[in-house]
C-alpha cells in the first residue's frame, strides 16, 4: 500500500478543568491513506470530535494535546509553529462542521466567505476569486451559482449551506477533508445528497476524507474503513464490510444491534446500550467499556485490553471478542 497521508500516533488530548483532567482522547493511533474515506464513529463524548480538532490544532483552552504525534506528509503538526499550522489549515487539511448555519458568518455573503477561504492562502485578484467561488459552488451542485454567490447564508436552505461549507473546504484542493457530523443537522433526503456529493468528490478529486459521525448508516454509505471510538480510545478498527458483518468488540456489536431495521419484526425490541459513557476524569479500571458490557469476563475488570488482530486488517481492543462471546461453548460471562 502507498504511504499514509496522515499518521496519528498515540494522540492524547486532555482538558484541564476545575473538576480534574478530562482524558478526552487517550492514546489514539491511526493512518489515513491517500484517497480513502475513513469513518470515525462513536457516541457523544467519545472523543471523535476532539480527535478531529486536534489534527488541526484547534483545541482551545483549557484543552491541550499532551502527547503524541500527528504526522502530515512527514512533519509533525503537534510541534509546528502557529503560523505553520495556520498555513496547513484550509489548504492541506480542511474541515467542515455539523451545523452549516452556525458555521457560516450570517453577515457576510456566501461567495465572500468562499473567496476568503481562497485568499487565506495567498493573494488572488478579486475577479478570479469570484470566478473560483462560482466554480466551487457549481462543483458542489448549487443551482444558478452566478447569482447565488451573492446570497447571504440565511437565504440558503440547510442542504445548500452544507454544500457551501464543502465548497469552502475544497477551495484550496486540500489533500484531507475532515467532516465532523456533516449530515447530522440535515433532513434525511438532504443527508443522502450530501453523502453522495462527498463520495463523488472523494472519487473525482482523490481527497482523503475523515468522516466523523455517530450514525452507522452514514459510515456504511461512503466509508472504506472505520474506527470505532469509545471513551477516548479506539476500540475497533477495520474495513467497513468486516466491521458490519463481523464486529468483534461488544461495543461495535451493540451499536450495530441498536440500528432500527426495516425488515425486523415490529414487536422486537431495539437493543439499547445500558448505562452512560464513563467519566473521563476517572475512567474505570480495566477495559473502559466493562461497566456496560454484557460479555465481560473477570480479566476485563483488571486489565486494559490493547488493540489486537481479530481478522484480516481488523483489530479490536477486547479480551473476549464477539466471536467467542456468541459461540455456544464460549467462555462464561461474569
Partner 1 sequence: MATAPGLVTPEAYGDTLAREQTSLWGDAWRRLRRNRLALVSTVFLVLLILVAIVAQFWTPYSYFAEGLAPVYQGPTAQHLLGVDDLGRDILSRIMLGAQVSLKVGIGTQVIVIAVGVVVGLIAGFYRGVIDTVISTVINIFYGIPDLLVALILVLLLGRSLAIIIFAIAFTQWMNMARLVRGQTLALREREFVEAARAGGAKANRIIFRHILPNALGPMIVQATIGVPQAILFEAFLSFLGLGVPPPTPSWGAMAADGFHAIRISPHIVLAPAIALSLTLMAFNFLGDGLRDALDPRQKR
CA-CA distance, 36 to 208, in Å (whole number)? 5
User: For partner 1, which stretch binds (CB under 8 A), given 137-145, 258-266, 281-289, 321-329?
Assistant: 137-145
Q: How far is the CB of 304 from partner 1 (least distance, A)?
A: 33
Q: Which is nearer to partner 1, 168 or 211 (CB)?
A: 168
Q: Which residue, 87 or 331, has its beta carbon nearer to partner 1?
A: 87
Out of 38, 46, 77, 142, name the contact with partner 1 by CB under 8 A: 142
Task: Give min distance, CB of 329 to partner 1, in A.
Answer: 51
**Separation CA 7–CA 29 (nearest Å):** 7
Q: What would the x/- binding string for partner 1 be over residues 75 to 94, using CB under 8 A?
A: -----------xxxxxx--x
Closer Cβ to partner 1, 96 or 255, answer by number: 96
**Owner of C-alpha cell 502507498:** 2
315 close to 249: Cβ distance less than 8 angstroms: no
Cα-Cα end-to-end distance for the chain: 42
**50 sits near partner 1 (criterion: CB under 8 A):** no
Q: How many CA atoms lie within 13 A of 1 on its CB side?
A: 10
Q: Which of 28, 41, 56, 223 binds partner 1 (CB under 8 A)?
A: 56
Q: Name which of residues 297 to 326 contact partner 1 (CB under 8 A).
A: none
d(CA 299, CA 55): 34
Minimum CB–partner distance for residue 59 and partner 1 (Å): 11
**Binding-site member from 10, 146, 150, 275 for partner 1 (CB under 8 A):** 150
Buried b (16+ CB within 10 A) or exposed e, 284-307: bebbbbbbbbebbbeebeeebbeb
- Coil, strand or helix: which one is 6? strand
C-alpha count within 13 angstroms, C-beta hemisphere, residue 47: 30
Compute how many other C-beta atoms are within 10 angstroms of the C-beta atom of residue 240.
19
140 binds partner 1 (CB under 8 A): no
d(CA 245, CA 241): 6
Contact map string, positions 230 to 259, toward partner 1, x by CB under 8 A: ------------------------------
Residue numbers at the binding site for partner 1 (CB under 8 A): 56, 58, 61, 86-91, 94-99, 102-108, 116-117, 120-121, 141-144, 147-148, 150-152, 155, 157, 160, 165, 168-169, 171, 193
Amino acid at each position: 500500500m502507498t504511504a499514509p497521508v496522515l499518521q496519528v500516533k498515540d494522540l492524547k488530548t486532555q482538558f484541564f478543568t476545575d473538576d480534574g483532567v478530562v482524558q478526552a482522547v487517550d492514546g489514539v493511533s491511526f493512518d489515513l491513506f491517500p484517497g480513502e474515506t475513513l469513518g470515525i464513529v462513536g457516541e457523544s463524548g467519545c472523543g471523535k470530535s476532539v480527535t478531529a480538532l486536534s489534527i488541526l490544532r484547534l483545541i482551545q483552552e483549557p484543552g491541550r494535546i499532551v502527547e503524541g504525534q500527528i504526522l502530515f506528509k512527514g512533519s509533525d503538526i503537534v510541534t509546528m509553529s502557529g503560523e505553520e499550522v495556520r498555513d496547513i489549515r484550509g489548504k492541506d487539511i480542511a474541515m467542515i462542521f455539523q451545523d452549516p448555519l452556525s458555521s457560516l458568518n450570517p453577515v457576510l455573503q456566501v461567495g465572500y466567505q468562499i473567496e476568503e477561504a481562497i485568499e487565506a492562502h495567498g493573494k488572488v485578484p478579486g475577479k478570479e476569486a469570484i470566478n473560483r467561488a462560482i466554480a466551487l459552488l457549481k462543483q458542489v451542485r448549487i443551482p444558478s451559482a452566478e447569482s447565488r454567490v451573492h446570497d447571504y447564508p440565511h437565504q440558503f436552505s440547510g442542504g445548500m449551506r452544507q454544500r457551501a461549507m464543502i465548497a469552502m473546504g475544497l477551495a484550496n484542493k486540500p489533500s484531507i477533508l475532515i467532516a465532523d457530523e456533516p449530515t447530522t443537522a440535515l433532513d434525511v433526503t438532504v443527508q443522502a445528497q450530501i453523502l453522495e456529493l462527498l463520495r463523488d468528490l472523494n472519487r473525482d478529486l482523490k481527497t482523503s476524507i475523515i468522516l466523523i459521525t455517530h450514525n452507522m448508516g452514514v459510515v456504511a454509505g461512503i466509508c472504506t474503513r472505520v474506527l470505532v471510538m469509545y471513551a477516548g480510545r479506539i476500540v475497533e478498527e477495520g474495513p467497513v464490510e468486516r466491521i458490519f458483518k463481523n464486529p468483534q468488540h461488544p461495543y461495535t456489536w451493540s451499536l450495530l444491534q441498536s440500528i432500527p431495521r426495516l425488515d425486523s419484526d415490529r414487536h422486537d425490541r431495539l437493543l439499547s446500550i445500558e448505562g452512560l459513557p464513563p467519566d473521563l476524569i476517572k475512567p474505570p479500571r480495566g477495559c473502559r467499556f466493562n461497566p456496560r458490557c454484557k460479555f465481560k469476563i473477570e480479566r476485563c475488570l483488571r486489565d486494559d485490553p490493547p488493540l489486537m488482530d481479530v481478522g484480516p486488517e481488523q483489530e479490536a481492543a477486547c479480551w473476549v471478542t464477539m466471536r467467542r462471546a456468541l459461540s455456544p461453548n464460549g467462555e462464561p460471562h461474569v
